[in-house]
């Protein structure tokens, strides 16, 4: 199977690899997937409570090249966005940007889930209730 | 010395044709192109002579006689013929077949097909080391059992079954014993007499011969095994396999067998040395790596290892100048991790992290050293990227975590 140049680039030079302190009240952590499924993504964001702007994003991923690329891209995209803007990112945007084949669409779904999970965690820390629609997961 | 890239280390999938094999084959494409079934001219005689010579070369490698060798299009056909051929011929006698869960799909799917036609199949589990238990086998035998079909060595983990013991059990009970010998023939000594094998499937392209040709050993005495054909036509190969013989391919298979027989004693020692060097190198430089399957009962050229916390496909992507394969779901069409590793009781998380190394005649020590360095480099990099590795280092038991699955 051939990978798109963008997947290869993210795989070779993953952006924003690392971890943020989980206990920091401004850090939201999303951990999605399962080892037995072959994919686990951890996405963390440091969000300014005043402006709701995502100031930092870090990821670690266990998974195939497309999963690594999807989460690397997600960190790039959410950085500098507001929480609402980040929540508007759809898995199909990731599919398009990385030219993922149908068999790898679940990687993009996982990345979208990770964004939502991380923001959900941050909102919980700040006592913000998630609207019902945003809770919907795959 | 700089190694030439890419490196091929996937010799369980296929092997390159040995130049000596190719050389033997070439005359049979052009000058000696005759049909081995043409009885009335020298072109036919030359082809027939070459085929009979190859038959002898194949027979000699497995301690059979040349009349017991049937040429086919490959081991998938041989597996189909030995199982369906016995099933159809002896269905009056019984309808029960015993196999095991980690056979090649050519055997498993053939058995599944027979189940649709009134046969009953027992799929024996394997033990943690990847071998069939003789006690399980004995317990599975019924008065209606007509066939036991167990592979000599597994294509993913290289584990060798207790074939001689199984052959003895089958013989005592008067049950036919059919063996998929694809990975073992030419790599370890296979002896149909010692092992009491009644039918044995052989492939050319796993032993440095060409693709598209294989053989089936069919025992002629003690007992004489009769088979129903699955391909009808001109009655070639004593009626068991019709179709014009692939003379150049057969010549190649014969030559490959001759070379294997001559060089196996030395070659297996050499391959074992390379394999053990690979294993030792990886284990010395990486923690949490696990060998899948028995090391004691194993083909000399196989290593199957799980690299915990690193998903197999991403690993393959990182070592893209080394050709190996993975048991990860992502590398399969079904998105299921290896059924072989699963049957061994390897957790699905570790099955996703497995890599199969298949060493071959043309690998070098320099290549092995390159692969060790590259693997260490990529595994280290991917573990830095792995949330599971981080959690493990923090002392979190991943197996006890509640995961949000889709």
Query: How far B286 CA sits from the closest chain A CA (Å)?
Result: 17
pLDDT of residue B152: 98
Mutate to test the interface with A, among B306, B307, B308, B314 (most CBs of A within 10 A): B314
Residue A56 within any structural domain of the chain: yes
Is residue A58 included in any domain, yes or no?
Answer: yes
Q: Which stretch of DSSP H or E encloses residue A112?
A: helix A105-125
Tally the domains of chain A: 1
Per the CB < 8 Å rule, is A3 touching B317? Answer: yes
Q: What is the four-CA torsion angle of B204, B205, B210, B212, rounded to 10 degrees?
A: 80
Tokens describing residue B130: 């990847």
As a whole number of angstroms, the distance between CA B44 and CA B38 comes to 5
Residue A131, in any domain of the structure: no
| pLDDT score, position B404 | 66
B208 closest CA partner among B151, B159, B260: B260
SS percent in chain B: helix, strand, coil, step 5: 40, 15, 45
Contact B387, B357 (CB under 8 A): no
A64 part of the active site: no
CB contact under 8 A, B387 and A61: yes
User: Is A41 a member of any domain?
Assistant: yes
Rg (CA), chain B: 22
Question: Which residues of B are tagged catalytic?
Answer: 330
In a domain, A33, yes or no: yes
Inter-chain residue contact B352 with A109, CB threshold 8 Å: no
Specify if A53 maps to a domain.
yes
φ, ψ for residue A93 (rounded to 5)? Answer: -65, -40
Q: Is the residue at A108 inside a domain?
A: yes
The CATH number linked to A83 is 3.90.1010.10
| Residue B12, pLDDT score | 97
pLDDT at B257: 98
Q: Residue A138 has what pLDDT? A: 46
Quick one: pLDDT at residue B331? 60
For residue B225, give the 3-state DSSP assignment.
coil
Taking only the tens of pLDDT, chain B with its 406 residues reads 689 999 999 999 999 999 999 999 999 999 999 999 999 999 999 999 999 999 999 999 999 999 999 999 999 999 999 999 999 999 999 999 999 999 999 999 999 999 999 999 999 999 999 999 999 999 999 999 999 999 999 999 999 999 999 999 999 999 999 999 999 999 999 999 999 999 999 999 999 999 999 999 999 999 999 999 999 999 999 999 999 999 999 999 999 999 999 999 999 999 999 999 999 999 999 999 999 999 999 999 999 999 999 999 999 999 999 999 987 766 656 667 889 999 999 988 888 999 999 999 999 999 999 999 999 999 999 999 999 999 999 998 887 888 865 4
> Angle B99-B101-B102 (CA atoms, 0-180°, nearest 5)?
105
Its domain, for residue A101, covers 5-126
Taking alpha carbons only, the member of B247, B252, B329, B200 closest to residue B15 is B252
The reported pTM is: 0.92
Query: Are the CB atoms for B74 and B214 separated by under 8 Å?
Result: yes
Q: What is the pLDDT of residues A23-40, one digit of tens each?
A: 999 999 999 999 888 899
Residues lower than pLDDT 50 in chain A: 132-138
Q: Which domains does chain B have, with CATH numbers?
A: 7-12+264-388 (3.90.1150.10), 19-260 (3.40.640.10)
Cα–Cα dist B375/B398, whole Å: 24
Beta strands (DSSP E) in B151-195 are: 176-180
Q: Tell me, what's the pLDDT at B359? A: 98
In A, which residues are within 8 Å of B330 by CB distance?
A: 38, 63-64
């Amino acid at each position: 199977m051939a990978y798109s140049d963008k997947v290869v680039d993210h795989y070779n030079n993953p952006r924003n690899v690392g971890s943020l302190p989980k206990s920091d009240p401004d850090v939201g952590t999303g951990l999605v997937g399962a080892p037995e499924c072959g994919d686990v993504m951890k996405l963390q964001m440091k969000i300014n409570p005043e402006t709701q702007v995502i100031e930092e994003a870090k990821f670690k991923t266990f998974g195939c090249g497309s999963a690594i690329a999807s989460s690397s891209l997600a960190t790039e995209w959410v950085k500098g966005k507001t929480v609402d803007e980040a929540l508007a990112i759809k898995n199909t945007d990731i599919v398009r940007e990385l030219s993922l084949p149908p068999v790898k669409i679940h990687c993009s779904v996982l990345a979208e889930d990770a964004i939502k999970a991380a923001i959900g965690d941050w909102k919980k820390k700040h006592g913000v209730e998630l609207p019902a629609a945003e809770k919907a997961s795959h | 010395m700089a190694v030439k890239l890419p490196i091929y280390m996937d010799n369980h999938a296929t092997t390159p044709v040995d130049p000596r094999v190719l050389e033997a084959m070439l005359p049979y494409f052009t000058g000696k192109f005759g049909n081995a079934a043409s009885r009335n001219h020298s072109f036919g005689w030359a082809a027939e002579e070459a085929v009979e010579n190859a038959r002898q070369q194949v027979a000699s490698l497995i301690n059979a006689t040349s009349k017991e060798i049937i040429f086919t299009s490959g081991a998938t056909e041989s597996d189909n013929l030995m199982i369906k051929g016995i099933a159809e011929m002896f269905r009056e006698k019984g309808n029960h077949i015993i196999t095991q869960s980690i056979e090649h799909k050519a055997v498993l799917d053939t058995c599944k097909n027979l189940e649709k036609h009134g046969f009953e199949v027992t799929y024996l589990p394997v033990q943690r080391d990847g071998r069939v238990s003789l006690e399980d086998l004995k317990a599975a035998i019924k008065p209606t059992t007509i066939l036991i079909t167990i592979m000599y060595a597994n294509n993913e983990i290289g584990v060798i079954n207790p074939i001689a013991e199984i052959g003895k059990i089958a013989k005592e009970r008067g049950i036919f014993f059919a063996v998929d010998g694809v990975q073992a023939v030419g790599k370890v000594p296979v002896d149909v007499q010692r092992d009491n094998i009644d039918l044995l499937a052989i492939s050319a392209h796993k032993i440095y011969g060409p693709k598209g040709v294989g053989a089936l050993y069919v025992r002629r005495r003690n007992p004489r095994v009769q088979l129903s054909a699955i391909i009808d036509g001109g009655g070639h190969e004593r009626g068991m396999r019709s179709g014009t013989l692939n003379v150049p391919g057969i010549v190649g298979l014969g030559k490959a067998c001759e070379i294997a027989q001559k060089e196996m004693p030395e070659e297996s020692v050499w391959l074992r040395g390379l394999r053990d060097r690979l294993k030792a190198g990886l284990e010395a430089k990486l923690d949490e790596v696990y060998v899948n399957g028995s090391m004691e009962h194993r083909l000399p050229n196989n290593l199957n290892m799980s690299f915990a916390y690193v998903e197999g496909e991403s690993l393959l992507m990182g070592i893209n100048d080394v050709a190996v394969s993975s048991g990860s779901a992502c590398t399969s069409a079904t998105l299921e991790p290896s059924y072989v590793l699963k049957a061994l009781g390897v957790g699905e998380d570790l099955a996703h992290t497995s890599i199969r190394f298949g060493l071959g005649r043309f690998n070098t020590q320099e290549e092995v050293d390159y692969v060790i360095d590259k693997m260490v480099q990529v595994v280290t990099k991917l573990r830095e990227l792995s949330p599971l590795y981080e959690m493990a280092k923090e002392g979190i038991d991943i197996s006890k975590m509640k995961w949000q699955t889709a």
